[in-house]
Structure 1
Amino acid sequence: MNEQIIYYETQKNHVNEEAGYHGKIQYIDHLDPNDIIDSMVAKNTTITRQDALAVISLYEEVIIEHLQKGYSLATGLFQARLFMKGRFQKEGDLFDKDKHTTHVVFRPAIGLNDKISSHISFHKRQEGITKQYLKGIHDFASDSNIPNEEGYYKITRGNAFALTGSNLKIYHYEGRYKLNLKDSSGKIYDLKPANITPSKLTSSLARDLPEGLYTLSYQVEYGQIIRDYGNLKVQIGD
């Protein structure tokens, strides 16, 4: 696995000012089960969403059943066991739902923290820098994925390209995916995504699209929520 970059910021410790500052991770986004399934499918082309959903549902069902039967569990991600809360006044007292409760406690699996953190490079977030969902563009015709000195990515007219980033796909049936180019005069050209995974979106440009400098923007609407992924500077040509 390649090294990943995680940004953090430092905040004043107001509870114990003598402790100075504490670090806070800048999370990219929150993933739900559908987002995780999308990532699984993107990593392995032989597995379908239905396959992944069935396995995960069965896995959760079996874990719950075993905890209900009184087993403690150990997996590659966590350890889990059932605990009881509430006092018993006498040795012979019985469990009373009005006085006693049970709860599940999860702990990270042994070695999990090291397994995750060993592939992370932590960078301090600078003032004025916001989250950036979009990472780059790969132009298939020129096999270019590096911006020029002015920060413009090349996209060849009449050819396909890939937009890379984080959480590009949200699995909601009402989701609408909007990808467009805006030129220097403000004119907008709508593009049609051909395929979308959580980390990559592929599309193509018309052969008669005017050459020039553009801003490529990506936005997703689902329900009443609009997620704006930001934009990248692109140079359209042959």
Structure 2
Amino acid sequence: MLKYCLRENLLTAKPDDYMAQVTDSRVFTLEDIVDRMVKRGTTVTRTDLAAIMQLYTQECTYIVEEGGSLNTPLINTSFSISGVFDGADDSFDAKRHSLNLNISSGLALKEALTKTKAEKTETASTDPYITAVCDKLNGTTDTVKIGSVMEIIGSRLKFDPKDEEQGVFAVTGTNAIRCAAVVENKPARLIVILDPAVPPGDFTLEVRTKLDSNGKTTTKTLRKGYYHKTLKAII
């Protein structure tokens, strides 16, 4: 069951417009998937399953490294290139251009989506909510240059910059790097510098705050809100 809550829709002018946000969606690792396969019953051992899944993952990685695209029951991939080229004779330059991997659902996942049921939670969320992110120097919305100015649009975003538990965090796996340089700190807009310590690659943007919905009163609860799109940090 996919749970969701309602929050204000900032994209429309009507004050009573709300939009749905998914909540409490559990993340499953490769180990979790192997465990589920074993519990369902199979003649293949857990060790063999883990090895097969690892080989499958590795081979898909090799295909992408070679510039190939995947067309599987789970995912389909394609490539695109961001950046401006100076004339027809210009070539790819990692300092000015970036490769993007575009991923869409395969047929099996599309079929699974038709069977997914949604359940509304009782109350609307009061957590921070991010609607858009932009690299202000490059004008990109899917990639952010490390050390660049990042604009974050949403609601209930304001935080106390003196409290290290609060702020804007770039999350990669179990590592969360706080963007300490804050240019603007308002409930509907934040402008921060993507910290130089953030490694190149995919990351999740998260805002953490203890301020109430008006951004004025400090509460005891640390509320978190993350951007629904995966961003890529580039050099």
Q: TM-score range by the shorter chain?
A: 0.3 to 0.5
Max Rg structure: 1
* TM-score, normalization by structure 2: 0.46
